[in-house]
Amino acid sequence: MTDFTGLRALVTGGASGIGRATAELLAARGAQVAVLDLDPDGVEKPLRGYAADVTDDTAVRAAVEAAVADLGGLDVLVNNAGIGAQGTVEDNDDAQWHTVLDVNVLGIVRTTRAALPHLRASAHAAIVNTCSIAATAGLPQRALYSASKGAVLSLTLAMAADHVREGVRVNCVNPGTVDTPWVGRLLDAAPDPAAERAALAARQPTGRLVGADEVAGAIAYLASPLSGATTGTALAVDGGMQGL
């Protein structure tokens, strides 16, 4: 059993799905964990919730400062908050592009800017970004979302290079199709959600969706000293989707 006692972590988008599973896993293994989300009301102890929209720089700075004060420092930042978009380049207008890039890319920039001064003071500083196989897979009907995650991948590599000599590691995970409330909402919009879920599972090499807890495990590894010599990597958690 890996022990994360002593680690102080902040997880964005930690009130649901992958972020929630990550926050709960880190806390269950001894870390002190703060969650930054639009609506952290459902976040329960031992997690600590902080309300902020990652598109609001002032709110992000305030939430990060409050979390760091409560945790007594910061070792781990998990940049996980994100939103989706469907369609080709003809389907999404400029406003939709700005909205998704503001959350998925600039959201990471804002939380990272606020957290870096604190991370530099840590002996085990790590940033983990939630990217996606969409960054490199060339998925149909996902032009905007894929571009946003392509930017997250590039940003991860650039941040890793910029901060490695300051003792801050930066990696990302590339999940495939993960069983979260987000995917549940997409399935619920189908005429027959159960049939759609079965079809989606059948398209996975493993015959099932990836579990949020399985992505959380990969994030926890990259966030912890277990991966202390690893920076600038993208870890696929996709049930074999990527290479196929």
In the beta sheet, which residues pair with residue 85? none
Q: How far is the CB of 124 from ligand NAD (least distance, A)?
A: 24
Residue type, 104: N
Q: Which of 12, 33, 108, 145 is catalytic?
A: 145
Q: CA-to-CA distance for 115 and 210, rounded, in angstroms?
A: 30
Q: Is 170 helix (H, G, I), strand (E, B) or coil?
A: strand
User: What percent helix, strand, coil does the chain show, rounded to 5?
Assistant: 50, 20, 35
Q: How many residues bind ligand NAD (CB under 6 A)?
A: 26
Is residue 221 part of the annotated active site? The answer reads no
Does residue 111 bind ligand NAD (CB under 6 A)? no
- List the one residue from 183, 187, 216, 234 that touches ligand NAD (CB under 6 A): 183
Does residue 156 bind ligand NAD (CB under 6 A)? no
Burial (Cβ within 10 Å: 0-12, 13-18, ≥19) of residue 106: middle
Task: Give, as ranges, the residues between 89 and 108 that touch ligand NAD (CB under 6 A).
Answer: 103
Q: How far is the CB of 36 from ligand NAD (least distance, A)?
A: 6
Q: How far is the CB of 165 from ligand NAD (least distance, A)?
A: 28
What separation, in Å, do the N-terminal and C-terminal C-alpha atoms of the chain show?
32
Binding mask 192-221 for ligand NAD (x = CB under 6 A): ------------------------------
CA–centroid distance for 227 within its chain: 17
Determine contact, residues 34/50, Cβ cutoff 8 Å.
yes
Count CB-CB contacts under 10 A for residue 32: 24
Judged by beta carbon, residue 32 or residue 132, the one nearer ligand NAD is 132
Determine contact, residues 21/216, Cβ cutoff 8 Å.
yes
Does residue 24 bind ligand NAD (CB under 6 A)? no
- Applying CB under 6 A, the span of 75-83, 86-94, 120-128, 136-144 interacting with ligand NAD comes to 75-83
Identify the CA nearest to 78 among candidates 90, 91, 67, 87: 67
Does residue 153 bind ligand NAD (CB under 6 A)? no
Please give the residue ranges that form the binding site for ligand NAD (CB under 6 A).
12-13, 15-19, 37-38, 53-55, 80-83, 103, 130, 132, 175, 177-178, 180-183
Active site residues: 145
